C-alpha cells in the first residue's frame, strides 16, 4: 500500500476524497443517542472543495439576524424537521444557506454526534464534496459570507489554541482555530477537530497532550 502524507493529499483532490471516505468508513457513524430533555436534533455538512490548488472547507459567517450564534463561524446546517433524516436536513439546510443543491453533493460519510453546550442541539455531522468553482448563493437572512478555509490552515498548529473551561461542574477542552481575521470555536471547532483527527490521525495531539490553559 502506498502511503501519501497529509500535505501531499491536500493538493490531490481525488486521492484526498478517497482517503476521507476510507477513513470515515473504517469507523462509521454511531447510532443516534437518546436526546436529553430540551435538546433538539440538528445536522451539519462539512463541504470539501478544491480551490487555488488545494483542499478547503466551506464555512459560513452567520448573520446577526439568526436566533443562535450571531456572527459566529459555523458549518451549514440546521434543525432536523419532522419526517426527515439528519442527512436530509443537512443537505436541505446547506441548499437554503449557501445554494448548494443536494444532487451536487457527494457524501463521503458521517462523523460522531456533537452536543452544543448552550443552544440545546444534538448535531449529526456529515462530510461531503462538491465540484468547484460553484455558484454559491448565501442567504442574507442567515449567512453574512462564505469562507473558503484551506485544510492546510486548520492543520497548522500555530492556528490552534485550546482552553480548559468549566461548565456545570464539568471541565472540557475548548478549541479555537484562527482563520484569517476570524476565530472558529464551539461545536464547529469540535466537529472540525474530530474530522481532522479521523482523517489525519497524527495532525492534532490527544486532548491530554494539548497545552490548554484554564479560563479565568
Q: Is a pLDDT exceeding 60 seen at residue 136? A: yes
Range in 27-41, 56-70, 93-107 with the lowest mean pLDDT: 27-41
DSSP string over 106-155? EEEEE---EE-SSS-EEEEEEEEE--SS------TTTEEEEEEEEHHHHH
Please count the CA atoms within 13 angstroms of the CA of 168 that sit on its side-chain side.
2
In tens, the pLDDT along 42-57 reads 999 999 999 999 999 9
**Beta pairing partners, 12:** none
In tens, the pLDDT along 58-96 reads 999 999 887 776 889 999 999 999 999 999 999 999 999
Q: Is a pLDDT exceeding 60 seen at residue 3? A: no
Q: Is a pLDDT exceeding 90 seen at residue 35? A: no
The confidence score (pLDDT) of residue 53 equals 97
Averaged pLDDT of the chain: 92
Q: Which pLDDT band holds residue 1 (cuts at 50, 70, 90)?
A: very low
The helix or strand, by DSSP H or E, that contains position 173, with its residue range, turns out to be strand 170-179
- Rounded CA separation 130/108 (Å): 11
User: Would the pTM count as exceeding 0.85?
Assistant: yes
The confidence score (pLDDT) of residue 28 equals 62
Level-2 CATH architecture, domain 6-28+38-151:
Alpha-Beta Complex (3.90)
Amino acid at each position: 500500500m502506498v502511503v501519501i502524507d497529509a500535505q501531499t493529499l491536500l493538493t490531490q483532490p481525488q486521492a484526498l476524497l478517497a482517503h476521507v471516505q476510507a477513513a470515515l468508513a473504517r469507523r462509521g457513524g454511531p447510532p443516534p443517542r437518546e436526546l436529553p430533555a430540551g435538546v433538539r436534533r440538528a445536522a451539519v455538512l462539512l463541504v470539501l472543495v478544491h480551490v487555488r490548488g488545494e483542499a478547503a472547507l466551506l464555512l459560513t459567517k452567520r448573520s446577526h439576524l439568526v436566533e443562535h450564534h450571531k456572527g459566529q463561524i459555523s458549518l451549514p446546517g440546521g434543525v432536523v424537521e419532522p419526517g426527515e433524516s439528519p442527512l436530509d436536513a443537512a443537505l436541505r439546510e446547506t441548499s437554503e444557506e449557501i445554494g448548494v443543491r443536494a444532487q451536487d453533493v457527494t457524501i463521503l460519510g458521517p462523523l460522531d454526534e456533537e452536543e452544543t453546550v448552550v443552544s440545546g442541539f444534538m448535531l449529526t455531522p456529515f462530510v461531503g464534496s462538491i465540484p468547484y468553482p460553484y455558484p454559491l448563493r448565501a442567504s442574507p437572512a442567515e449567512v453574512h459570507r462564505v469562507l473558503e478555509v484551506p485544510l492546510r490552515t486548520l492543520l497548522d498548529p500555530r492556528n490552534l489554541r485550546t482552553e480548559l473551561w468549566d461548565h456545570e461542574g464539568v471541565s472540557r477542552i475548548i478549541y479555537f482555530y484562527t482563520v484569517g481575521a476570524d476565530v472558529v470555536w464551539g461545536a464547529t471547532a469540535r466537529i472540525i477537530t474530530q474530522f481532522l483527527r479521523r482523517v489525519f490521525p497524527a495532525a492534532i495531539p490527544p486532548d491530554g497532550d494539548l497545552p490548554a490553559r484554564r479560563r479565568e
